[in-house]
Amino acid sequence: MDKLPKIALPAIFIIILLVILITKSAVTIGSGKAGVLYETFGGGVVTDEPAMGEGFHIVAPWNKVFIYEVRQQEVFEKMNVLSSNGLDIKLDASAWFEPKREFLGKLHQEKGEEYIQRVLLPTIRSAARSVVGRYTPEQLYSSKRDAIQAEIYEETKKIVDGQYIQLNEILVRDVTLPSTIKDAIERKLKQEQESLEYEFRLVTASKEAQKVIIEAQGKADANRILSASLTDKILQDKGIEATIKLAESPNSKVIVIGSGDSGLPIILGNQ
């Protein structure tokens, strides 16, 4: 009975030590994340093996695991940039990106956990300043938003591809011009729209006038052709036909007295 406490104390100590070691050695990596192993007594960051995947892992207690988000992420950036004529433009943009999983060890070793602030954001700012500087405020306000978005994406992607970052998209969410410049552009666009509307009305009126002239000319030509084709004989025959129809009408009484200058009967009486 006296030996029991002497045996129990070392056992308890060993159990506690095992619990501590297991706690220190157990690593759980959540969904959408991956781990980079750092070997304290080895070669440091492990770069020649795939990143640790989701789930439960056991590592040596003296090693460390750095966990990274490997799903698509979004970062927002507000920037002041200059247009081609030196005006200050406010640009709001966001980027969709994710670290390249196969190079996660390299990313951690060379860029670190602050890679977004150290690499991605400065590159987006540089590309935005370069691209916006090619355009005037009028172009940025009206028709070139999609163009600058595509160009910022291409210039940013070209740089971050070599920095172990996969850029999926750049979205230009807002372009804010100085209020005086914006008002001037809106007035100019309104004047251009009114000018186009006036030109349209002029063209429409001209076409309507041409249509009336063509219709009148057609009627005149038809009348001229008809007049040229009507001879005295044809007119006389038409008159005789009309006289016969009138005479056959039950509502008419016909009295023929002599003949007219045209040789047609003179019809009197009508009820």
pLDDT at 89 > cutoff 90? no
Q: Are residues 49 and 96 in the same domain?
A: no
Classify the C-alpha dihedral 86-87-90-94 as positive or negative.
negative
Q: Are residues 16 and 63 in the same domain?
A: yes
pLDDT at 153 > cutoff 90? yes
pLDDT, residue 1, reads 46
Tokens of 49: 């093996």
Shortest CA distance to 125 belongs to which of 75, 84, 67, 52?
75
Q: Are residues 169 and 78 in the same domain?
A: yes
pLDDT, residue 68, reads 96
Q: Alpha-carbon distance 260 to 267, whole Å? A: 10
Instruction: Choose the final residue of a domain: 45, 69, 93.
Output: 69
Q: Percent of the chain, pLDDT > 70?
A: 65
Lowest mean pLDDT among 7-11, 122-126, 250-254: 250-254
Q: How many domains does the chain have?
A: 4
Q: Are residues 142 and 51 in the same domain?
A: no
Q: Are residues 105 and 158 in the same domain?
A: yes
**CA distances to 64, 91, 119, 164, 227 from 110, in Å:** 17, 30, 11, 10, 100
Query: Assign residue 99 a region: left if phi > 0, alpha if psi is -120 to 50, beta otherwise?
Result: beta
Q: Alpha-carbon distance 171 to 152, whole Å? A: 9
CB atoms within 10 A of CB 39: 14
103 close to 164: Cβ distance less than 8 angstroms: yes
Instruction: Choose the final residue of a domain: 161, 177, 193.
Output: 177
pLDDT, residue 87, reads 81
Average pLDDT over residues 75-97: 89
Q: Are residues 134 and 47 in the same domain?
A: no
Looking up tokens 């994710």 gives: 98
Q: Are residues 80 and 91 in the same domain?
A: yes
Average pLDDT over residues 80-97: 88
259 close to 265: Cβ distance less than 8 angstroms: yes
Q: Alpha-carbon distance 51 to 68, whole Å? A: 10
pLDDT at 99 > cutoff 80? yes
Q: C-alpha dihedral over 67, 70, 72, 76, to 10 degrees? A: 40
Q: Are residues 185 and 172 in the same domain?
A: no
Q: Give pLDDT tens digits for 105-147.
A: 999 999 999 999 999 999 999 999 999 888 887 777 766 778 8
Burial class (CB in 10 A: 0-12, 13-18, 19+), 123: buried
Q: Give pLDDT tens digits for 12-45.
A: 767 776 666 666 778 889 999 999 999 988 889 9
pLDDT, residue 121, reads 95
Q: What is the CATH number of the domain that holds 82?
A: 3.30.479.30
Q: Are residues 164 and 91 in the same domain?
A: yes
Q: Are residues 160 and 91 in the same domain?
A: yes
Q: Alpha-carbon distance 221 to 103, whole Å? A: 86
pLDDT, residue 257, reads 47
pLDDT at 196 > cutoff 50? yes
Q: Are residues 54 and 89 in the same domain?
A: no
Full residue range of the structural domain in which residue 151 is found: 73-177
Q: Give pLDDT tens digits for 38-85.
A: 998 888 999 988 899 999 888 888 889 999 999 999 999 999 888 887
Q: Are residues 169 and 106 in the same domain?
A: yes
